[in-house]
Amino acid sequence: GESVGLHLPTLSVQEGDNSIINCAYSNSASDYFIWYKQESGKGPQFIIDIRSNMDKRQGQRVTVLLNKTVKHLSLQIAATQPGDSAVYFCADLDPQGAQKLVFGQGTRLTINP
């Protein structure tokens, strides 16, 4: 079965607000995690990644937090914009077969004007 899952299938926030998308994983040996954004009609676009030796990583308006104790991953998007509306997937690299990226079910984020 899948090693990653998401708490909510949809999330709506007001433009300008911060959003948090959550992800849980089951394999305590997972050691590399990626967040992807997929807009309608496009392929997934890399947002940010984090390795298991880190708890937090920041990018431009995005922060990923990793809590290995409870096997939880989150993506925080600051000051959301209409262009942030998309489906967000977390994915982890199967540590047993490092070439295999396993995606969670995805959360659809809608930014309301």
Partner 1 sequence: DTEVTQTPKHLVMGMTNKKSLKCEQHMGHRAMYWYKQKAKKPPELMFVYSYEKLSINESVPSRFSPECPNSSLLNLHLHALQPEDSALYLCASSSGHYNEQFFGPGTRLTVL
Positions touching partner 1 (CB under 8 A) are 32, 34, 36, 41-46, 49, 89, 91, 93, 97-106
CB of 98 to partner 1, least distance (A): 4
Question: 13 or 49: whose CB is closer to partner 1?
Answer: 49
The CB-side HSE value for 12 (13 A sphere, CA atoms) comes to: 2
CB of 17 to partner 1, least distance (A): 25
Find residue 75's DSSP bridge partners: 21, 64
Question: 14 or 28: whose CB is closer to partner 1?
Answer: 28
Question: 10 or 12: whose CB is closer to partner 1?
Answer: 10
Is residue 13 within 8 Å of residue 80, measured between CB atoms?
yes
CA–CA dist 96, 84 (Å, integer): 33
- Reported as type and span, the H/E element at residue 107 is strand 107-112
